[in-house]
Amino acid sequence: MKKLCFVLLSSALLLTACANNQSKQSNTSDSSKVTALSEDKQKMLDKATADYKTFVQEQIDKLLTDTEGFVKLLKEGKLEEAKKVYPLIRMSYERSEPIAESFGESDVKIDFRLADYMDENKTEEGWSGFHRIERILWEDNTTKGTESYGDQLVNDIKELKAKIATVDVDYKVMLTGAVDLLNEVATSKITGEEEIYSHTDLYDFRANIEGAEKIFQLFKPLLEKSDANLVKELEADFKSVNSLLDKHMTDKEHYKLYTDLTKEDTKELSEAVTKLGEPLSQMGKFLSGE
């Protein structure tokens, strides 16, 4: 960022020097051009943020519909069917975490792991959400006891949906969110800590990558005007991570258990995510600068 500021400062000094030898009319013309470019950029940013809010709302709508179906399976005692759809349902939430997680109270109710909940509350009393149900399904190997948690989960998602409808999405939130999604992968998905009972971490891994890639795609028209090489690098790095994840799919929807991966597999994934994170974090300087 310091380097960018230096370039901008140098450019400003150069323009000032040139202005001393130009007419007032020329100055006015140049000023109008800069303003026009800024307005054009703002329109593109506004479109990106509006489209992103629509994307997140669509993901939460899907999350709600799928969770209602999931709870129906729980109440019918269909254990294996519930286990099979559990990781697929969660992907909608994982894709939309930059906005969903901003509502801390809802995130605690919907997506908190036991370890995180215990850190804050020192007891598991009151712990709910997907991971509460996950533990019962895999540790107790039954749907009994999940029914009330399922109903609460549906209500909590409805509450989150209502909150998201009122939020104003800022492009800076999107930029931070894209990087945060990769941090999620690096700190909990790549270690297998997110889904400690079901070991379905690769679904979350993919969804986080898809969420970050969606943000990149929305900013891509702007980035292409600023740094086409950065765009190419990001496209290549996203392709690399997705190709690695494809290797661990068992069919068109499902993935291997995380515990089935070798140390070499996890190392390969970790390195690919780290490589992607570097150019992804550079998006901000091109979108923030005029």
Can you say whether residue 169 is alpha, beta or left, with left for phi > 0 and alpha for psi between -120 and 50 degrees? beta
- Phi, psi torsion values for 187, nearest 5 degrees: -95, -25
Q: With b meaning 16 or more CB within 10 Å and e meaning fewer, what string describes 154-186?
A: eebbeebbebbeeeebebebbbebbbbbbebbb
CB 125 within 8 A of CB 71: no
Q: What is the DSSP code (8-state) at residue 260?
A: G
Give which of 150, 49, 43 is closest to 98, Cα–Cα: 49
How far apart, in whole angstroms, are the C-alpha atoms of residue 77 and residue 80?
9
SS (H, E, C) 62-107: HHHHHHHHHHHHHHCCCHHHHHHHHHHHHHHHHHCHHHHCCCHHHH
Tell me the β-bridge partners of 255: 249
> pLDDT tens string for the chain (290 positions)?
333 333 323 333 233 333 344 444 444 444 444 444 488 888 999 999 999 999 999 999 999 999 999 999 999 999 999 999 999 999 999 999 999 988 989 999 999 999 989 998 888 999 999 999 999 999 999 999 999 999 999 999 999 999 999 999 999 999 999 999 998 898 778 888 899 999 999 999 999 999 999 999 999 999 999 899 999 999 999 999 999 999 999 999 999 999 999 999 999 999 999 999 999 999 988 776 54
H or E element at residue 286: helix 283-288
User: 170-290 belongs to which homologous superfamily?
Assistant: M75 peptidase, HXXE motif (1.20.1420.20)
Instruction: Return the CATH architecture of domain 55-167.
Output: Up-down Bundle (1.20)
Specify the long-range contacts of residues 73-81, CB closer than 8 Å, at least 24 apart: 73/143, 74/133, 74/143, 74/146, 74/147, 74/150, 75/143, 75/147, 75/150, 76/143, 77/143, 77/144, 78/143, 79/137, 79/141, 79/142, 79/143
H/E segment holding residue 45: helix 24-75
* Cα–Cα distance list, 72 to 58, 68, 226, 256 (Å): 21, 6, 49, 26
48-74 per-residue burial string, b: 16 or more CB within 10 A, e: under 16: bbeebbebbbebbebbbebbeebbebb
Which segments of the chain belong to CATH 1.20.1420.20?
55-167, 170-290
CB 211 within 8 A of CB 97: yes
